[in-house]
């Protein structure tokens, strides 16, 4: 006697009690075909989308760096934060360019030496970009909250020191990337740049700390400081409008009630 599992394709009963035969092999084939088509579309989009981001990003950040360091804007402390931020973003885009070159047959990323250097550079640039944004936001908050103290607190020398400290801390804090990344065996026997299996547990802890230090804490700081900046600007705007309204009212009263003429 034939078992239920060997009785052929599954049967599906609709509301009118008609029997519909569903061929599981045909359904699986349709799903795999749709998945392959989606992957092709994503690859096509990824190829051109990344190319556009890299081209415009490299050109834009290069121009930003030159403007903030080669013009009169270099006299402002905030320009140094923006120049360093442009340089960090430029470094990350260049590492992204090397990865993108795999699409055109230039495989540098999956080579020993290049793999570790690119992983380290991308980690440093992304982390440094976040904390430079935090430092720039702090300076904006000082300028709005304490405008009279700003010339003494936000100096070019102090900006250079902060940028140097952030750079040194980030460079030294990501040295582990040079040891945890390497060439491993990927699918179809290809050598790929990936996390070495011996450091899986270590990187689990590192990724948790990295998420806290480069996402959670900076996000909270930026949101709080931007909220304080917006609050101060609103208060300043209301105070300015109130004073302007009083000035207009006093001017109108002066025009409506002129001084009486003296008789001879």
198-243 confidence digits (pLDDT tens): 999 999 999 999 999 999 999 999 999 999 999 988 887 887 777 7
Stretch (H or E) spanning 30:
helix 24-70
Q: Beta partners for 21?
A: 11
Domain assignment of residue 11, yes or no: no
| DSSP annotation string for 37-50 | HHHHHHHHHHHHHH
Domain assignment of residue 7, yes or no: no
CATH at residue 129: 1.20.1070.10
Structural domain boundaries, residue 70: 43-237
pTM here is 0.77
State the total domains in the chain: 1
147-205 confidence digits (pLDDT tens): 888 888 889 999 999 999 999 999 999 999 999 998 888 777 788 888 898 999 999 99
């Amino acid at each position: 006697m034939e078992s239920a599992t060997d009785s052929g394709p599954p049967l599906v009963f609709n509301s009118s009690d008609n029997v519909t035969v569903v061929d599981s092999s045909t359904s699986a084939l349709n799903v795999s075909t749709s998945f392959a088509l989606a992957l092709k579309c994503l690859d096509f989009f990824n190829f051109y989308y990344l190319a556009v981001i890299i081209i415009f990003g490299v050109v834009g950040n290069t121009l930003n760096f030159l403007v903030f360091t080669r013009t009169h804007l270099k006299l402002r402390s905030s320009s140094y934060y923006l120049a360093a931020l442009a340089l960090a973003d430029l470094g990350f885009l260049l590492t992204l360019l090397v990865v993108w070159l795999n699409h055109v047959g230039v495989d540098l990323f999956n080579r020993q030496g290049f793999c570790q250097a690119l992983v380290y550079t991308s980690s440093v640039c992304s982390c440094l970009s976040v904390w430079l944004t935090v430092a720039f936001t702090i300076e904006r908050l000082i300028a709005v909250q304490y405008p009279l103290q700003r010339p003494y607190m936000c100096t070019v020398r102090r900006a250079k020191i902060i940028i140097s400290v952030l750079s040194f801390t980030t460079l030294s804090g990501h040295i582990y990337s040079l040891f945890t990344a390497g060439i491993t065996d990927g699918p179809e026997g290809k050598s790929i740049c990936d996390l070495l299996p011996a450091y899986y547990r270590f990187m689990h802890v590192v990724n948790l700390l990295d998420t806290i230090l480069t996402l959670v804490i900076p996000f909270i700081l930026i949101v709080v400081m931007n909220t304080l900046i917006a609050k101060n600007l609103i208060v300043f705007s209301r105070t300015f409008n109130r004073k302007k309204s009083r000035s207009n009212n006093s001017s109108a009263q002066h025009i409506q009630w002129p001084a009486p003429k003296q008789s001879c």
